[in-house]
Amino acid sequence: MNLLNNKLNIIPLNIFIDPQYPVDKAIITHAHADHAVPGHRKVLATRQTVEIMKLRFGEGCAKEFQILEYGKKININNVFISLLPSGHILGSAQVLIENKNEKIVVTGDYKTVKDPTVYNFELQKCDTIVSEATFGLPIFKHPNPNEEIYKLLESLKKNKNTTHLIGAYALGKAQRIIKLLRNNGFDQKIFIHRSLEKICNYYQHEGIQLGKFEVITKNSEETDYKIVFCPPSALKDRWSRRFEDKIISQASGWMRIKQRVKQSLIELPLIISDHSDWRELTNTIKASNAENVWVTHGREDALVHWSIQNGLNSKPLSFQREEEDT
C-alpha cells in the first residue's frame, strides 16, 4: 500500500490524518482533542468540525482552513479525497483516499447505530480499512440507547426529590443524551455545567433541538435540579457538592465493566457510547470488503486476531492516544 503509511500520512501529498502534533497539512476527522490539536498550518475538515475546533481552541487554532462537504471529492495530484459521515459526533467524518490503484478508508471514531444528533454512518467499500478499536473486545455489546434512557426516566419517577447528576462528555455525548431524553418525552428544564454551554448552544444553532436548558452558576437560585449534566471529572469535585441528595450517573461504554462502575462509585450506570461495539466493528469490516485491516485507537490485538482468522491481512498501528470520549 503506497498511499498511506503507519502514521496515517498520505504519502504522495504529505497530508496527515488526525496528527497529535502540529504539521503543515492535516485532515481532521472530528473535534475531540485526541484527534484534533491546534497549531497546524492548514486543516481540511467538515464545516462543523472546523467551527467546533474554533469554539474549543480559538479562531487561530490553524492558519488556514479548507472545508470539505460530505461526499464531495477533491483531486490533489491525482489522489482523490472525500469525507463521509462516521456517526460519532456532529461533523465527524471518515476519510476516503483513492487513486487509480487502490481505495482506503480511515474511519476515525465511528458508530453505526442511529443517533438523532449526527448524520448516520455511511459504509464505503474499499481495499483497505483503517478502523478504530476503542471497544474492540467481544465483551463489549452496547444496549439500545433508548433502553438506557428508560432506566434513567424510571429512576426519575422513583426518586422524585433527588438530583440525577450525569457525567457525560461535553462534546457529543451530553447533547446526544439530552436529545434522547427529549425524544422519549422528558420536557422539563435540564441543567448543565458551564463547560457544556458553548457546545449545547452550537448544537441548537445547527438545528438539533435540545429543549430548555440552563447553566448552573454560583449564583443559581434553583432548588429543584431534576437532571444535571456535567463532565465526568466534575462528578466528585467541589462543584458537585452543592447537590445534597443526588444519584451519581455516568454515560459511557465503559459502564459495561462492573468493576469500573464500582471503582467510580457510579450508582446509575448508563451504557451509552459514541463508539462502535465489537459487533459493529466486525460487521463494518466484513461489509467493507476490505482485504487489509489496520487497527488503531484501543483494543487492537483482538480485532487484528479476528481479522486474520477471517482471512484478512491485518496489523495494529499502536497509536498511544488518551481517549477523550467513550
CATH architecture of 9-139+275-316: 4-Layer Sandwich (3.60)
Identical fold at 9-139+275-316 and 145-270? no
C-alpha cell at 229: 449534566
Question: Nearest-CA neighbor of 257 among 236, 244, 271?
Answer: 271
Residues of the chain with pLDDT under 70: 1, 319-326
Give the CATH number of domain 145-270. 3.40.50
> pTM for the full model?
0.95
What pLDDT does 319 receive?
61
C-alpha cell at 195: 463547560
Q: How far apart are the first and last CA of the chain?
A: 31
Q: Where are the alpha helices (DSSP H) in the chain?
A: 47-57, 145-158, 173-183, 197-205, 258-263, 278-288, 300-309
What pLDDT does 281 receive?
99
What pLDDT does 326 receive?
64
Q: Give the start-to-end residue ranges of the domains of the chain.
A: 9-139+275-316, 145-270
Helices and strands, number each (H, E), in the chain: 7, 18
What pLDDT does 2 receive?
83
Contacts for 66-70 with beta carbons within 8 Å, 24 or more apart? 66/42, 68/44, 70/46, 70/119, 70/122
C-alpha cell at 81: 479525497
**Phi-psi category of 44—alpha, beta or left, where left has phi over 0 and alpha has psi -120 to 50?**
beta
Q: Where are the alpha helices (DSSP H) in 166-316?
A: 173-183, 197-205, 258-263, 278-288, 300-309
Q: What is the rounded distance in angstroms from the CA atom of residue 207 to the CA atom of residue 323?
A: 28
* Greatest alpha-carbon span in the chain: 64
**DSSP bridge pairs for 249:** 166, 268
- pLDDT tens digits, 92-114: 999 999 999 999 999 999 999 99
What pLDDT does 1 receive?
57
Distances (CA, A) of 203 to 31, 170, 222: 14, 12, 25
